[in-house]
């Protein structure tokens, strides 16, 4: 789908956080570094479902129950948190 100025809806120009766009992720076939492996171990120990629930709660508290106004940086951070929530939900087999 194209917008009125010709760029696609999914284009980097329309991304909330273009520098952290998932299309820039490293090759999935690359071996994990030690710190990445430790991080994944902690995620597996804690549980994806539990982490998704906790992050969603923090996201909703910040967005819906805070008097702090959201500018571009805060919106970008909330978008990043929401990406993590969705990823953990998929990993837990919820979505």
Q: Which tens digits make up the pLDDT trace of 37-89?
A: 999 899 989 999 999 999 999 999 998 988 888 899 999 999 999 999 999 99
Q: Please check the confidence at residue 7 and state whether its pLDDT lies above 50.
A: no
Q: Give the confidence band of 15 by pLDDT, cuts at 50, 70, 90.
A: low
- Three-state SS for the chain is CECCCCCECCCHHHCCCHHHCHHHCCCCCCCCCHHHHHHHHHHHHHCHHHHHHHHHHHHHHHHHCCCCCCCHHHHHHHHHHHHHHHHHHHHCCCC
- For the chain, the domain total comes to 1
Asked whether residue 1 is assigned to any structural domain, the reply reads no
**pTM for the whole thing?**
0.62
Residue 39: per-residue pLDDT: 92
Other Cβ atoms less than 10 A from the Cβ of 71: the count is 8
Asked whether residue 43 is assigned to any structural domain, the reply reads no
Asked whether residue 91 is assigned to any structural domain, the reply reads yes
Asked whether residue 19 is assigned to any structural domain, the reply reads no
Asked whether residue 8 is assigned to any structural domain, the reply reads no
């Amino acid at each position: 789908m194209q917008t009125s100025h010709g760029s696609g809806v999914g284009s980097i120009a329309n991304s909330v956080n273009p520098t952290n766009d998932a299309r820039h992720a490293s090759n999935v076939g690359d071996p994990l570094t030690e710190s990445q492996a430790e991080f994944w171990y902690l995620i597996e120990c804690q549980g994806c479902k539990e982490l998704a629930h906790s992050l969603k709660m923090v996201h909703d508290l910040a967005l819906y129950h805070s008097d702090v106004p959201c500018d571009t940086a805060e919106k970008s951070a909330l978008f990043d948190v929401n990406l993590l929530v969705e990823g953990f939900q998929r990993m837990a087999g919820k979505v």
